[in-house]
Amino acid sequence: MSTPSPKRQGERGFSLLLIVFSVTAFWQSYGISGFSGLSTAGVFPMLASATMIVSALCILLQSFSDTNNTAHTAVAIDESNHSVLTLRLVVMLLLISGYLIAMPALGFTLASAAFLFLSFSYLWRKSLAVSLLITVVSVTAVYFIFRKLFQVVLPKGTLLQGLL
């Protein structure tokens, strides 16, 4: 049996914020097509947001059930020297921001490929060939599943619109 992890400052507040965000995402995804069918455009967003709601509720309930909620844990957290804003997190936030900025210009396929390749290369630190192979397989699978199988229109991008 493992000992419960110490509470982090703002853990419950962040869990509540996650629940509010997840419920809002579910409400927005419900607005796409409601519960009108299993093959409608809103099914996957509703499933994803419902999963987010359940996960956030589990995290919140777990934070209330932990008995290790005394003042000495706050001191232990401060002494452990864990940084909330690590270099890895900052780099990933920059990559995600770049992905969001590049998507309208490059389109879904190229922006996703660039994002995945850079993310795999940075986080996994394997060879560039392995990162490239996994990126190509992942983007190809997502493209065929969503574009061909479910016939979802993926953003093409304005920069290369005449070329692709």
Q: Which residues contact 42 (CB under 8 A, 6 or more apart)?
A: 29, 30, 31, 32, 33, 34
Q: How far apart are CA 74 and CA 132, in angstroms?
A: 43
- What mean pLDDT do residues 124-128 have? 89
Question: Sign of the C-alpha dihedral, residues 8, 9, 13, 17?
Answer: negative
Highest mean pLDDT: which range of 61-65, 85-89, 108-112, 153-157: 108-112
- CA-to-CA dists, residue 132 to 22, 99, 122, angstroms: 33, 17, 12
Nearest CA among 56, 78, 55, 57 for reference residue 7 = 78
- CA angle 142/147/153 to nearest 5° reads 120
Residue 151 CA neighbour count, 13 Å, CB half:
2
pTM value is: 0.56
Highest mean pLDDT: which range of 35-44, 48-57, 154-163: 48-57
pLDDT of amino acid 67: 55
Report the SS3 class of residue 141. Answer: helix
